Amino acid sequence: MMRLRDAAIVGVASIALATAPINPAFARWHGGPVFWPFALGAAVVAGAAVVATAPLRVLAAPVYVPPTAYYPPPQAYYPPQAYYPPPGYYPPSDYYAPPPGYYGR
């Protein structure tokens, strides 16, 4: 049977390995000693969830992300070969007509 000292050494070593950063990108400040109990609790809960769902993960089929939809490239834009001014605009013949009775004064 494992003695208390051996259990403590194994526990401290496992906590040290669990909290060690995996790569330098994760080696940043995480709130200090006040945050550590909460982080340890979260690690314990996450570890228990992984262990509890391991049989289901083994039996379940792997889930793959569906491929992204294929959209054809946009049509090429060809600018006009020459600039043509807009056609002349002529208002309707009665557009600027004087009000009725204007000429009848």
Indicate whether 97 pLDDT > 60. Answer: yes
Full 3-state SS string of the chain: CCCHHHHHHHHHHHHHHHHCCCCHHHCCCCCCCCCHHHHHHHHHHHHHHHHHHHHHHHHCCCCCCCCCCCCCCCCCCCCCCCCCCCCCCCCCCCCCCCCCCCCCC
pLDDT digits (tens, 9 = 90+) for 42-95: 999 999 998 998 888 888 877 787 788 888 877 777 766 777 666 676 655 556
pLDDT tens-digit map of 14-40: 888 777 766 665 556 667 788 888 888
pLDDT score at 41: 92
More confident residue, 22 or 99: 99
**pTM higher than 0.85, yes or no?**
no
